[in-house]
């Protein structure tokens, strides 16, 4: 196996723009709102862009190689993550996502919990995370029905590098002027409650079913650990994913986990992933990783090195107990 790159799946959106051209040269025409970079969903499935599996769909590769790609603890019937870049030139709808129980019953797929990393923040960059304090469900429902929900939104300015955890049930919106790296459960279910009179379908009844006004969106500072040649920041850990930020100054040696795949998303700088190819591991190969790239580390890759000057988001479906133990060992 080898580190897998994929073709970018681009989606035009009413609120999209052209800011991904700052580090991409393959944008199609139009206002591009989303790039699905590692995806295995009915609404978009990645195609391998490098190596001997080039041209193969990710679901086909999983069927062919299963554990060697995604790991012994990941079910091949449902790929757990969807990794995107989002460019919001205009504000997205005010929305909410259901949890697994509701989504499975009503939509026939998983719910959606996600985490945002602000890759770029332009003038006026902002996000909505939750409602203002003391907003009741009755107040919120009346505001939604009258088109005045914005007055209850907790809209905050953001800067490059900010991180926010968006749990299912949390009312939220990506505001204008940002590029976001979004790591989420593998789901495409969104309930819009307000869309600034743009004429798209709203899902108010379902949204009111799943919204939890007790949830608050708070910036994640994480737990930073200084290492030789790099710094690691544990940003987010939940049943659906773990997110860690690697700030590579020189290099970082790692090893894959046969139980699960890893995904790295480069949010700043560039470098390379060095790994050994072949069963006898006698030849070292490399894959270049640049800002905006996402690369899947197969579960059976073995030892690899991240080298360069770059910031990488590492995401994966965790063994929570194992990661918690790792964090405790790091901070002791």
Question: Which pLDDT score is estimated for 281?
Answer: 56
- Read off the pLDDT of each residue in 190-200 and give the average, rounded to a whole number: 92
- 252-264 tens-digit pLDDT: 999 999 999 999 9
- Read off the pLDDT of each residue in 178-192 and give the average, rounded to a whole number: 97
- 320-332 tens-digit pLDDT: 999 999 999 988 7
Are 45 and 178 within one domain?
yes
Q: Residue 226: which pLDDT band, with cuts at 50, 70 and 90?
A: very high
d(CA 303, CA 2): 11
Are 280 and 257 within one domain?
yes
Domain limit, last residue, from 210, 245, 274:
210
CATH value at residue 122: 2.60.120.10
Active site residues: 192
- 54-65 tens-digit pLDDT: 999 999 999 999
Q: How many domains does the chain have?
A: 2
d(CA 22, CA 24): 6
Q: What angle do CA 94, 205, 139 make, to 5 degrees?
A: 65
Question: Which pLDDT score is estimated for 208?
Answer: 93
The answer as to whether 218 is a domain residue is no
Are 75 and 136 within one domain?
yes
Question: Which pLDDT score is estimated for 280?
Answer: 60
The answer as to whether 289 is a domain residue is yes
- 108-149 tens-digit pLDDT: 999 999 999 999 999 999 999 999 888 888 999 998 888 788
The answer as to whether 242 is a domain residue is yes
Are 131 and 162 within one domain?
yes
Are 86 and 204 within one domain?
yes
Domain limit, last residue, from 180, 210, 240:
210
Domain limit, last residue, from 176, 210, 244:
210
Q: Residue 245: which pLDDT band, with cuts at 50, 70 and 90?
A: very high
The answer as to whether 246 is a domain residue is yes
Are 145 and 202 within one domain?
yes
Are 112 and 250 within one domain?
no
The answer as to whether 126 is a domain residue is yes
Are 131 and 237 within one domain?
no
pLDDT at residue 277 is higher than 80: no
Spatial neighbors of 50 by CB under 8 A, at least 6 apart, are 2, 4, 5, 287
d(CA 204, CA 119): 31
CA-closest candidate to residue 184, choices 47, 57, 19, 34: 34
Question: Which pLDDT score is estimated for 68?
Answer: 97
d(CA 317, CA 261): 8
pLDDT at residue 273 is higher than 90: yes
Are 193 and 244 within one domain?
no
Query: What is Dmax (Cα atoms) for the chain?
Result: 67
Residue-by-residue DSSP string for 63-132: HHHTHHHH-TTS-TTS--EEEEEEEESSPPPEEE---HHHHHHHTSS----EEEEEEEE-TT-EEEEEE-
Are 69 and 111 within one domain?
yes
Question: Which pLDDT score is estimated for 282?
Answer: 65
d(CA 178, CA 163): 13
Are 241 and 96 within one domain?
no
Q: Residue 200: which pLDDT band, with cuts at 50, 70 and 90?
A: very high
pLDDT at residue 278 is higher than 90: no
Are 153 and 270 within one domain?
no
Domain containing 69 equals 4-210
The answer as to whether 293 is a domain residue is yes
pLDDT at residue 310 is higher than 80: yes
- Read off the pLDDT of each residue in 298-326 and give the average, rounded to a whole number: 97
Question: Which pLDDT score is estimated for 279?
Answer: 61
- 60-119 tens-digit pLDDT: 999 999 999 999 999 999 999 999 999 999 999 999 999 999 999 999 999 999 999 999
The answer as to whether 215 is a domain residue is no
How high is the mean pLDDT of the chain? Answer: 95
């Amino acid at each position: 196996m080898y580190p897998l790159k994929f073709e970018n799946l681009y989606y035009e959106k009413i609120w999209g723009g052209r800011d991904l051209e700052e580090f991409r040269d393959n944008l199609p025409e139009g206002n591009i709102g989303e790039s699905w970079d590692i995806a295995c969903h009915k609404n978009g499935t990645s195609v391998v862009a490098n190596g001997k599996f080039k041209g193969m769909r990710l679901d086909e590769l999983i069927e062919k190689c299963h554990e060697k790609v995604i790991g012994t603890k990941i079910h091949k019937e449902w790929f757990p993550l969807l990794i995107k870049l989002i460019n919001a030139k205009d504000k997205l709808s005010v929305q909410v996502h259901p949890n697994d129980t509701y989504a499975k019953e009503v939509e026939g797929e998983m719910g959606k919990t996600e985490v945002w990393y602000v890759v770029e923040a332009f003038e006026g960059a902002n996000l909505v995370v939750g409602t203002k304090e003391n907003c009741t469900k009755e107040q919120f429902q009346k505001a939604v029905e009258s088109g005045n929900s914005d007055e209850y939104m907790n809209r905050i300015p953001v800067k490059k590098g900010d991180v926010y955890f968006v749990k299912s049930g949390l009312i939220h919106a990506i505001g204008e002027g940002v590029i976001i790296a979004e790591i989420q459960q593998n789901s495409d279910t969104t309930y819009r409650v307000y869309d600034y009179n743009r004429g798209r379908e709203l899902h108010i009844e379902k949204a009111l079913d799943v919204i939890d006004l007790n949830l608050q969106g708070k910036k994640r500072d994480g737990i930073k650990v200084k290492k030789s040649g790099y710094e690691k920041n544990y940003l987010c850990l939940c049943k659906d994913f773990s997110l860690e930020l690697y700030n590579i100054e020189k290099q970082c040696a790692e090893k894959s986990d046969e139980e699960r795949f890893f995904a790295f998303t480069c949010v700043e700088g560039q470098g390379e992933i060095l790994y050994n190819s072949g069963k006898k591991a006698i030849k070292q190969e490399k894959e270049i990783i640049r800002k905006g790239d996402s690369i899947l580390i197969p579960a059976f890759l073995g030892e690899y090195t991240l080298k360069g000057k770059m910031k990488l988001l590492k995401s994966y479906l965790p063994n929570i107990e194992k990661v918690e133990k790792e964090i405790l060992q790091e901070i002791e």
